[in-house]
Amino acid sequence: MKIGAPKEVGQGESRVAMTPDSALQLQKLGYDCAIETGAGLAAGFSDALYEEAGVEIIKTPAGLWKAVDIIAKVRPPTETEAKRLKHGQLLISFFYPGQNEALMELARSKGASVIAMDMVPRISRAQKMDALSSMANIAGYRAVIEAGNNFGRFFTGQVTAAGKVPPAKVLVVGAGVAGLAAIGTATSLGAITYAFDVRPEVAEQIESMGAEFVFLEFEESGQDSSSTGGYAAPSSPEFREKQLEKFRELAPEMDIVITTALIPGRDAPVLWTKDMVEMMKPGSVIVDLAAERGGNCELTEKDEKIVSDNGVTIIGYTDFPSRMAAQSSTLYSTNIRHMMTDLTPEKDGQVKHDMEDDVIRGATAVHDGEITFPPPPPKVA
């Protein structure tokens, strides 16, 4: 069978779902590989590099979609792209099936199958295919780099002949995958880092990354997330008030605030309010990684960088992984390659779409022209 990656059409999208390296690995699984001409250019991979890796270069998007059995993509297909799906073809990409019912129906009507990389179950065995985590890791790292780029001072404290420089103070709100990556990056640059999460079990991880866990004095010290699959649930109004009170205490001291707080299936909770921004020092920076879902900061504007009246820069970009396209394409294409390994138990270049396999079943949104989303709840071991 042949697997191919088209050039992404989303505005500002620089990632690609197949790199020359991942193509070599896919060939070891027995597949022929193809890309649309220029598909990897924005991520630093020229057609020549793909050709050296034995990848066929196809001139047009329509030609690529027609020529292959498996399409590997980053973003969900546009309507035009989905209309190109053909009977028996498999599409593997981020798909967000819960928000893309019309697309799912289109794929179904074409008799195609869809594996949604955002639906890969978050269990140990599937970590190597967990594209949400690999992209969140990059977003957390890049958020700190972006903050540094907009912050007029050092992260690390220094004593120089020209004067003493205090270290920057960084607060990370939400310590999931992106938050922990942000903590690791900020501490490695020498900042004094603080972090808060509603899930008390992450305190240990926060501290092991070199940050200080911000404790709340509250009767229920946080959430028990074991009943919500490790994810956060909305906080009680009392808990939220305590949390905001704590943030108001911290706001005047913090130079950089990185917010990453999310609750599955909901808008992002507003945790950094306008009055907190007003309390911050001029020159401080907020990077809101929750901007896509409405933002954790009340003033965030999605995809924009704004400066508040008191001189605080607020960044609401939603394309951090694409801003590091070489790295994110490398990791994402590896996630796809691992998915293909699971789909090819015989290494014979033939997909075996095994709906009895928890990981494949969990990620499959459409199978042979039938909608299979949502998947059944994962089996408890």
Residues lying near ligand NAD in the complex (CB under 6 A): 122-124, 127, 130, 133, 136, 173-179, 196-199, 230-232, 235, 260-264, 269, 271
What's the closest the beta carbon of residue 317 comes to ligand NAD, in angstroms?
16
Residue 213, beta-bridge partner list: 195
Beta carbon of residue 204, minimum distance to ligand NAD (angstroms, whole number): 12
Active site residue 153: no
Of the candidates 122, 240, 293, 323, the residue annotated as catalytic is 122
DSSP assignment of 104-116: HHHHHHTT-EEEE
Give whichever of 260 and 313 is closer to ligand NAD, judged by the CB atom.
Answer: 260
Handedness of CA 244, 255, 186, 324 (dihedral sign): positive
Single out the catalytic residue among 32, 118, 130, 288.
Answer: 130
CA distance 68 to 86: 10
Output the smallest distance, CB 199 to ligand NAD, in A. Answer: 4
* Gap between the Cα atoms of 124 and 114, Å rounded: 23
Active-site residue, 127 included: yes
In DSSP terms, which residues pair with 164 in a beta bridge?
159
Task: Report the nearest approach of ligand NAD to the CB of residue 161 (Å).
Answer: 42
**Which residue, 160 or 227, has its beta carbon nearer to ligand NAD?**
227
Instruction: List, as one string, the DSSP characters of 175-222.
Output: -SHHHHHHHHHHHHTT-EEEEE-S-GGGHHHHHHTT-EE-----SS-S
Among residues 127, 208, 221, 236, the one annotated as catalytic is 127
Cβ-based nearer residue to ligand NAD, 190 or 378 = 378
Q: Given 133, 134, 327, 333, which residue is catalytic?
A: 133
Measure the CA–CA gap between 40 and 33, rounded to whole angstroms: 14
Catalytic, 31? Answer no
In the complex with ligand NAD, the residue whose CB is nearer, 89 or 235, is 235
Helix (H, G, I), strand (E, B) or coil at 371: strand
**What are the catalytic residues?**
122, 127, 130, 133, 231
